[in-house]
Amino acid sequence: MQELITCFEVPSDLKKTRQNQMKKIDIQAVRADFPILSQTVNGKPLVYFDNGATAQKPKVVIDAITKYYEEINANIHRGVHTLSQLATDAYEVSRNTIQSHLNAKHNYEIIFTSGTTHGINLVANGFAAILKPGDEVMVSAIEHHSNIVPWQMLCERTGARLVVIPMNENGELIMSEFDRLLNEKTKVITVNHISNALGTLNPIAEIIEKGHKVGATVLIDGAQATPHLRPDVQELDCDFYVFSGHKVCGPTGIGILYGKESWLNRLPPYQGGGEMIKEVTFEKTTYAELPHKFEAGTPNIAGGIVLGKAIDYLNSIGFDAIEAHEQELLAYGTQRLLEIEGLKIYGTGAKKASVISFNIEGIHPYDIGTIVDKLGIAVRTGHHCAQPIMNFFDIPGTVRASFAFYNTKEEIDIFVEAVKKAQQMLS
């Protein structure tokens, strides 16, 4: 029975193969790892450019889900029987994997959540017991709704004030305005690492350093960053860092909240129930130590285990190789799309991830998305849960093509021709 635990380890030969060959990505070998990429949609080979919404899953991740349910499915942490112990071990191995990946100081600073939104809400809820009227919570103009609404709700509950770091026409934060707005009333700063709608890479190291100088706590929304880079939370010195499993080739319904030990100890529990308690009486309940204090109820056990496998897979390829390949796609895709008359790209900052948001003059983005879908191409259209950005540019939304390490220049060529065809049909 004990040998079953090995099914949740990345094979050493795979690790070696990837390390040896992935100084530059072997794109065909990588694509072969993703079964969905070989299928057709509407009679055309699938071109998947909606990676900002969710990433596709490699076979090693799909197989790990199956193996868990076939071989060691059991509830964790409280069982003395063999299956429970094996499942618990695999779950905690995954926590250690993610600790190492983020370079967190302690494994109990890694909290399993249902995703980025859950992690942000957990922290925001905790600050309801800390903030006072007149305190300020600072967000940026390029946040996803998930990193705006929980803080708005918090401000409504506490009497704190929401302050917004503005952006410029390139989709970059105006740091001189950040400096001007920052003061001793700033208690929380919460910004995304990379914008989901524009691809902008924010100067979070500078934001964290300056925020700490005035005593602010800093949360980084890493949902869009973690597929492209490997954050070092100790080097960044952020107080919280959150991301979602499904965007890093893992399952949906699982995510990570990293929090500094001091802050996690200070915040009250977000939910009450099983696992997060130390002792319960009708008179008084005491809470479990970290990380269990924030992990009430039966968790997404399979998701937690398999998230570690997804992280292992990405590291086996190497984030330097991932970044180099994706930046190549970004440059090529930008060049090719700008060949199209009337096309405007939103998010033209100097530092950005492999995301291109654009419109064509006189054509609604939804119509473009519908036509290219008929040609087998998946892109995202709309406001991307970032309505303040769209309001800034006075547009209803954009077409967003978001590239991953398994995409190719040939797919970009197919996409560009499809957009040209859509333009001809809709003009």
Which amino acids are annotated catalytic? 385
Report the alpha-carbon distance of residue 151 to residue 131 in Å, rounded.
Answer: 11
Residues 6+ apart with CB under 8 A from 405: 25, 30, 317, 321, 322, 325, 326
Report the alpha-carbon distance of residue 131 to residue 255 in Å, rounded.
Answer: 26
Distance set, CA 408 to CA 26, 81, 115, 345, 354 (Å): 11, 48, 28, 20, 12
* Cis upstream peptide for 291 (omega within 30°): yes
Report the alpha-carbon distance of residue 76 to residue 74 in Å, rounded.
Answer: 6
Beta bridge partners of 218: 189
For the record, the structure tokens of 335 come out as 């060049």
- Asked if 267 contacts 257 with a C-beta cutoff of 8 angstroms, the reply is no
Beta bridge partners of 345: 358
Which residue has 């600050």 as its token pair? 127
Report the alpha-carbon distance of residue 242 to residue 227 in Å, rounded.
Answer: 13
Burial of 108 (0-12, 13-18, 19+ CB in 10 A): middle
State the Rg of the chain over Cα. Answer: 22
Which residue has 């506490």 as its token pair? 158
Report the alpha-carbon distance of residue 228 to residue 403 in Å, rounded.
Answer: 10
Phi, psi at residue 112, to the nearest 5°?
A: -75, 130
Report the alpha-carbon distance of residue 69 to residue 48 in Å, rounded.
Answer: 29
Report the alpha-carbon distance of residue 27 to residue 293 in Å, rounded.
Answer: 43
Which residue has 């090693």 as its token pair? 60
> Minimal CA–CA distance to 103: which of 218, 204, 236?
236
Task: For strands 277-280 and 136-140, give the pairing.
Answer: unpaired
Residues 6+ apart with CB under 8 A from 6: none
Report the alpha-carbon distance of residue 59 to residue 63 in Å, rounded.
Answer: 6
